[in-house]
Structure 1
C-alpha cells in the first residue's frame, strides 16, 4: 500500500478568508496527510480574529510576523522562507498554499521544479498567473460550508447549469480534446484516462470550480457527450461530433 503524501499547508492570513479552511482540509485529505499547518500573519491585528478562532480546532500553528514597515507585506517574505525551509527539510511530499496573492507565483514554480505538487486555494480575485501555476487550483468560494456562508454572508457554491457549462468555450474545448486523445479506435474513451489527460495537460484544472466533485460528474452535466457504463463500474465517454 502506497504511503500517504505528507502535505505542508501554508496560509497567507492577510490575503485570504478563513471561511473555507474546513473545506480546504477536507480537499487535501483526498491527497494525503496535512502534517504541517502554518498560518502566517500579524496576530496582533484585529483583522485576523476570524482566523484566530480557527487555529485550535484545526491544529494550525500561528506564525507571527510583525508589520515592521507600513505598506510592506512582511508576511509574504516570511511565508516564502518557511516554504523553502520545508522544501529542503526532506520531510514533505507536497505543498498547499492558501492565498490570493500572485506574488507567490515564483515560489510555486520553484517548488514544482523540485518535483513537488502545489495545491493552490484562493478567492476568485486571484490573478491568473498564480492560478495556472498550481496543480490544481481551487477557488475557496466553492469550499465554504453552508454555516460559514450564513455567518459571513458569503455566497454558497452553486453548480453551473448545463447552459453555463456549454457557454464556457475553454472548458468544452478541454473536454473534447481530452476525450479525443484518450479515445480508442471505436471512439470511446475510458473516464480514468480522460481525467489523467486533463490533469497532465492542465494541472490547475479542478471540477470543483464548476460546482462538481468529480470530472465525470462535470462531463455528464454538460450533456454534450455519450456516457456508457461497462461491467457496472467502468465509465466510457464518446464525443458524438468525432
Structure 2
C-alpha cells in the first residue's frame, strides 16, 4: 500500500441512500489513508432525524440539510457533489470517501480521479459495478445480523447456542496468476513484491479482497497456488513468482 498517512481525507455521506450503522465502518476504513478533515452527512429533513441525528452528532459529522423543492428531486446529491468539488479546488482534501450505493455518483468519482484525487467508496452489496469501478477502492459493508428475541414464556428459556458461521470455501481465481505473469515480465528476476501485486489487483478490481475468496490475507492466498512460488525476503517482505515449471526460460 502506498504511503498515504499525510493525506487529507473528506468523508461525504449520502444519508438518503444508506443507514447510520455504516458510519463507524467508513471511518475505520479511511483511517489507513490519512487524516479525516471533512465529515459531512447529506439528507432531507426526514432523513436527518432520529438515528441519523444521533450518529452524526456522536461521530462529529456536520449535518447538511437539503430541502426537496419539488417531489422526486434529490438536492442532497447535488450538494454533496458541489462540496466535493469545492474541497478539491481549495485543496482541503486530496482523498475522498463517498459513503453511498447510488451509481449517480459515478461521474463525480471519475471527475475527482481525473484531477488526481484518490476516491474510495463505502457501500452495501447492492452497489452497482458502475460505481465500484469508478473508485480507486471499494469497501463493502454488510449489516450485522440482529438476533431475534423470543416472546412470551419462551423468553425465559436459555437461548440456543448460535452456530458458528460456515467458513467460505477457499477459491483460487486464475486472474491472480495472470497478474503475476504480467507483472513478473517487467522485473529482472521474475519476482513481484506482494504489496505491489495487491495494489495492482485493487486497481483492476476496486472491490478485490482475499477474504472474498475465503482467505485471511493475500500471502496466505498466494500460498495455495501450485502455479506460484511465494518467498519471504531478507528484509521481511514477501515476493511471488511463477513456479519453475510454469516459468518459461
Paired with 2:178 and 2:36, the residues of 1 have a C-alpha distance of: 34
Task: Answer yes or no: is the 8 Å Cα contact 1:4–1:32 preserved in 2.
Answer: yes
**Greater radius of gyration (CA):** 2
**Corresponding position of 1:35:** 37
Q: Identify if the C-alpha distance between structure 1 residues 233 and 215 changes in structure 2 by more than 3 Å, giving closer, same or farther.
A: same
**Corresponding position of 2:64:** 63
CA deviation vs aligned residue, 1:59-103 (integer Å, no higher than 9, x gap): 111100112222222211111111122121122111110011101
Q: Which region of structure 1 is more displaced relative to structure 2, 126-135 or 17-26? A: 17-26
**Corresponding position of 2:178:** 177
Task: Answer yes or no: is the 8 Å Cα contact 1:7–1:94 preserved in 2.
Answer: yes
Matched, 1:161 2:169: yes
RMSD of the TM alignment (CA)? 3.0
- Unaligned segments of structure 1, at least 5 residues: 167-171
Question: SS in structure 1 opposite 2:58?
Answer: coil
**Corresponding position of 1:150:** 146
**Corresponding position of 1:10:** 12
Question: SS in structure 2 opposite 1:56?
Answer: helix
Deviation at 1:118, TM superposition (A): 0.5
**How many equivalent pairs are there?**
224
Paired with 1:80 and 1:158, the residues of 2 have a C-alpha distance of: 41
Q: Identify if the C-alpha distance between structure 1 residues 46 and 77 changes in structure 2 by more than 3 Å, giving closer, same or farther.
A: closer
Deviation at 1:213, TM superposition (A): 6.9
Deviation at 1:228, TM superposition (A): 2.2
Deviation at 1:55, TM superposition (A): 1.2
Paired with 1:196 and 1:50, the residues of 2 have a C-alpha distance of: 36
- Unaligned segments of structure 2, at least 5 residues: 149-164
Matched, 1:120 2:121: yes
* TM-score of the two chains, using structure 2 as the length reference: 0.77
Question: SS in structure 2 opposite 1:133?
Answer: coil
**Corresponding position of 1:194:** 197
